[in-house]
Chain A
Amino acid sequence: MFRPGPGFFPFYIGLLLVLLGVMVALENRRMLIDDSDEKQPSGMRPVVAISVAMVVLALLLERLGFVPAMMAMFVCIGFAERRTSWLPLLGVCLFMAIFGTALFIWGLSVPISAFGAS
């Protein structure tokens, strides 16, 4: 009797994905649809800066606490654009430090501390 086990779906789904990959490749070759991104390329700078910022937050959140971690994150994000106006960003950062602590730690009891390891 045919009884699909845990590997049945992954196998056939995998096959299907390969097939669709070939179709996409064929379609692109024939250029049925030109769907290149027309928006101006923003470059890799924001992508890298945001990625680093999120990793830094993840690394520091449980070790140093919410406020130091988010401040470090904001510093990294500041490098996402070529010309950053640091003063307004500092303002947002301070606001989020207070608002975030109130909302997440006091309001929703997320188990992290504002300062210090949790």
Chain B
Amino acid sequence: MSEFLANIQLGLSTALSAEALLFCFLGVTVGTVVGVLPGIGALAAISLALPLTYYLDPTTALIMLAGIFYGAQYGGSTASILLNLPGTATSAITCLDGYPLAQQGKAPLALFVTAINSFVGSSFAIVLVMGFAPLIAGFALKFSSTEYFSVMLLGLVAASTLSVGSPFKALAMVVFGIVLGQVGTDVNTGMFRFNFGILELADGFGLVAVAMGLFGVAEIMANVGQASGAPMGVKGMRFKDMIPSRSEWKEIWKPTLRGSVIGSFVGALPGTGPGIASLMAYAAEKRLSRDPSQFGKGSLAGLSAPEAANNASVQAAFIPTLSLGIPGDAVVAVLMGAMILHGITPGPNLINDQPAMFWGLIMSFWIGNLMLLFLNIPLIGLWVRLLSIPYRLLYPAIILFICIGVYSADNNVFDIYVVLAFGLIGYAMRKFSYPATPVLLGFILGPLLEEHFRRAMLLSHGDLTIFLQRPISLVFLLISLMFLGSVFMPGLRSKLVSRVRRNAPSDDAD
């Protein structure tokens, strides 16, 4: 216990330094802005900010990038409620009951409730991260390459089979991502693979360029020319209108807690993110409700559960990332890429080797969430006004940022072409309903998967059955097989799918 308190103290001393506080604030503010604005998500924002953090201390850099991530979850609900347009893809479910509430003139109430939901969901999950990440890391210290290969495989399979839409397309996209990850120099032999004689590809594709192409440029290409709504008139938002009444509090507290639990669980699974978490929380709430017909007409329960769930899942996604080195979802995958670029390998050793970083990051979550509560309740009017900036004036600036951002990562114009190419690929994928998130997971995990596979083969003297002989590895493989099997049992899936098809246009958890 005293050790735990010492760790918390260490974390606080890191997270409360002036530099950490400043960048945490910067991160959550940027996160809120990109969350509020439809058309740019956390992923594009983090990739954009990534080159800017090269000059920072790695812990500070992570604190800021993580702040963008969870900050965007707070902001995302604003556009959902006021515009019926998800600010981030993960808050699509929030539209269902948030927009009807706004139509009934209860927008201030809805905005207040989602801020509270977000805070409760996050807090719940942060407590879990503090408890479970060190525990799992301790367990994972015994892992060899064999177990790592299996658990990564599980992560990739879970990510693609637990998504909305065709599981085969998602699986194919994971594999496509792995192929992209193989471009460049083979680490073991130094041989070039898939570089087609292009010198710039000797180091492979840059993570920033791939992520910004698939998520940033593709998103813009798809959005330009689409009609955008005008925000509901929320003039003179008074604090009095925001506070729920006693009976409304009663209506929201249970769904919020249930959403937090579901979100934390889904988020902690490697590979599954906030999109699926909020969906599951909504479905569960509807089933538990005494009056399901209220859902979709402005039910506070239907607003609270998914909103708590997506925030909880975002924080819980740090459990597998920080303890195993396996990202909980695509955005955390980019964060993991950022850690690697800063020379830190996420994995079970992280907590012991870099306690100041681990506990500092966790404590910064608390601080960041408190800041977000402040940003999203007293200052909400500011963000609402932000929504009135027309998209057609915003996106040229975003494209310019993306181009100069990738250029600055390596000072090479070639990367601008790479980003454009992935933008076009991402646009085509969107048109034909291929999810982009699995590509990124495959791209980041693929090289690790291969390395662990080859190392396992060296250790076992080429015996492929090693993966089945080691019990932990066997369990991971069996769970993967179970997920794969679920693909062929369409009963459960089709239910989920048909529900989503009516409600949310896409599930690319960005």
* A interface, CB within 8 angstroms of B: 1-10, 13-14, 16-17, 20-21, 23-24, 27, 32-40, 42-43, 45-47, 50-51, 53-55, 57-59, 61-62, 66, 70, 73-74, 77, 80-81, 84-85, 88-89, 91-93, 96, 100, 104, 108, 110-112
- Do residues A4 and B454 form an inter-chain contact, with CB atoms below 8 A? yes
- Specify which chain B residues have a CB less than 8 angstroms from the CB of A42 in the assembled complex: 222-226
- Specify which chain A residues have a CB less than 8 angstroms from the CB of B457 in the assembled complex: 2-4
- Do residues B413 and A110 form an inter-chain contact, with CB atoms below 8 A? no
With A4-B453, A6-B191 known to touch, is A92 a contact of B397 (CB < 8 Å)?
Answer: yes
- Do residues A33 and B225 form an inter-chain contact, with CB atoms below 8 A? no
CB distance from B39 to the nearest CB of A (A): 13
Contacting residue for A111 out of B194, B411, B430, B432, CB 8 A? B411
- Specify which chain B residues have a CB less than 8 angstroms from the CB of A36 in the assembled complex: 433
Measured in the bound complex, the distance between the Cα atoms of B506 and A70 in whole Å is 32
Summarize A's interface: helix, strand, loop or mixed. helix
- Specify which chain A residues have a CB less than 8 angstroms from the CB of B179 in the assembled complex: 10, 13-14, 17
B-side interface residues, number (CB < 8 Å): 65
- Specify which chain A residues have a CB less than 8 angstroms from the CB of B501 in the assembled complex: 34-35
Nearest-neighbor residue (CB-CB) of A47 within chain B: B221
- Do residues B172 and A61 form an inter-chain contact, with CB atoms below 8 A? no
Is B505's beta carbon under 8 Å from chain A? yes
Is B497's beta carbon under 8 Å from chain A? yes
- Specify which chain B residues have a CB less than 8 angstroms from the CB of A9 in the assembled complex: 178, 182, 450, 453
- Do residues B222 and A70 form an inter-chain contact, with CB atoms below 8 A? no
Is B52's beta carbon under 8 Å from chain A? yes
Binds A, one of B162-170, B239-247, B471-479: B162-170
Measured in the bound complex, the distance between the Cα atoms of B430 and A53 in whole Å is 21
- Do residues A61 and B413 form an inter-chain contact, with CB atoms below 8 A? yes
CB distance from B412 to the nearest CB of A (A): 10
Nearest-neighbor residue (CB-CB) of B415 within chain A: A58
Question: Across the A-B interface, how many residue pairs have beta carbons closer than 8 Å?
Answer: 161
Contacting residue for B464 out of A2, A14, A88, CB 8 A? A2
Binds A, one of B108-116, B265-273, B320-328, B402-410: B402-410
Contacting residue for B419 out of A8, A54, A61, A66, CB 8 A? A54
Nearest-neighbor residue (CB-CB) of A51 within chain B: B420
- Specify which chain A residues have a CB less than 8 angstroms from the CB of B470 in the assembled complex: none
Nearest-neighbor residue (CB-CB) of A46 within chain B: B224
Question: Which interface residue of B194, B223, B416, B458 has the most chain A CB atoms within 10 A?
Answer: B416
A to B CB contacts below 8 Å, 29 in the list: A1-B462, A2-B463, A4-B457, A5-B189, A13-B178, A13-B179, A14-B179, A17-B175, A20-B168, A20-B172, A23-B172, A24-B169, A27-B166, A39-B222, A39-B226, A45-B225, A46-B221, A46-B225, A50-B423, A55-B417, A70-B400, A77-B395, A77-B396, A81-B392, A84-B392, A85-B392, A88-B393, A89-B393, A92-B393
Measured in the bound complex, the distance between the Cα atoms of B98 and A28 in whole Å is 34
CB distance from B226 to the nearest CB of A (A): 6
- Specify which chain B residues have a CB less than 8 angstroms from the CB of A24 in the assembled complex: 166, 168-169, 172
Nearest-neighbor residue (CB-CB) of B393 within chain A: A92
- Do residues A74 and B396 form an inter-chain contact, with CB atoms below 8 A? yes
Closest 4 CB pairs of A and B: A2-B462, A46-B224, A20-B172, A6-B186
CB distance from B4 to the nearest CB of A (A): 40
- Specify which chain A residues have a CB less than 8 angstroms from the CB of B468 in the assembled complex: none
- Specify which chain B residues have a CB less than 8 angstroms from the CB of A92 in the assembled complex: 393, 396-397
Is B220's beta carbon under 8 Å from chain A? yes
With A42-B226, A45-B225 known to touch, is A100 a contact of B400 (CB < 8 Å)?
Answer: yes
- Specify which chain B residues have a CB less than 8 angstroms from the CB of A17 in the assembled complex: 172, 175-176, 179
Measured in the bound complex, the distance between the Cα atoms of B461 and A73 in whole Å is 56
Measured in the bound complex, the distance between the Cα atoms of B108 and A10 in whole Å is 54
Measured in the bound complex, the distance between the Cα atoms of B395 and A38 in whole Å is 23
Is B215's beta carbon under 8 Å from chain A? no
- Specify which chain B residues have a CB less than 8 angstroms from the CB of A7 in the assembled complex: 193
Nearest-neighbor residue (CB-CB) of B173 within chain A: A20
CB distance from A14 to the nearest CB of B (A): 7
- Specify which chain A residues have a CB less than 8 angstroms from the CB of B191 in the assembled complex: 6
With A1-B462, A3-B462, A93-B396 known to touch, is A108 a contact of B52 (CB < 8 Å)?
Answer: yes
Measured in the bound complex, the distance between the Cα atoms of B418 and A55 in whole Å is 11
